[in-house]
Amino acid sequence: MLHVASLSTVIRLSLHVLAACVWLGGQLTMGALMPTARTLGDGAPKKLAVAFGRLSWPAFWVLIATGFWNYAAVHGEQATSAWNTVFGVKMLCVIAAGVASAVHVKAPTPRVRGLSAAVALLATLATLVLGIALAG
């Protein structure tokens, strides 16, 4: 029998996936565009980063909000010890991604900026994979 999700489930998951596309897809896109941006002048990478921040940080907070909503919607049905463990690791990755991204924005040197970007990207990718594992 085919199961059709409720409207609230469709809205919740659509917002979460859309925000993840912006947050993760934007990180990948910005990383790929930076070599070209550097050829456009000294201020170009910074201007692109600021513009991306205006889109990515709201997406991050939508991810947090819809993540709480997801947890409330499915936790009672999925509350095995394995599910809770994976969920806990995912939350650590979310925190790491947010902190590393904030460090990246305020990084005093190119080395710190690069390292924090790498940590943010890896933590975000791990969050994605763990989220898929939780979805079952």
pLDDT for 29: 96
What is the tens place of the pLDDT at every residue in 64-91? Answer: 999 999 888 877 666 788 888 999 999 9
Residue 130 within any structural domain of the chain = yes
pLDDT for 78: 63
Question: What's the domain range around 50?
Answer: 7-135
Residue 76 within any structural domain of the chain = yes
Average pLDDT, the chain: 93
- Burial code (b: 16+ CB inside 10 Å, e: under 16) for 23-62 equals bbeebeebeeeeeebeeeeeeebeebbeebbeebbebbeb
Evaluate whether 53 touches 87 at the Cβ level (below 8 Å): no
Evaluate whether 45 touches 37 at the Cβ level (below 8 Å): yes
Give the count of domains, the chain. Answer: 1
Residue 2 within any structural domain of the chain = no
Low-confidence ranges of the chain (pLDDT < 70): 76-78
pLDDT for 77: 65
pLDDT for 16: 96
pLDDT for 136: 73
pLDDT for 74: 79
pLDDT for 19: 98
Residue 82 within any structural domain of the chain = yes
Coil, helix or strand at residue 107: coil
Helix (H) or strand (E) holding 133: helix 110-135
- As a whole number of angstroms, the distance between CA 93 and CA 130 comes to 9
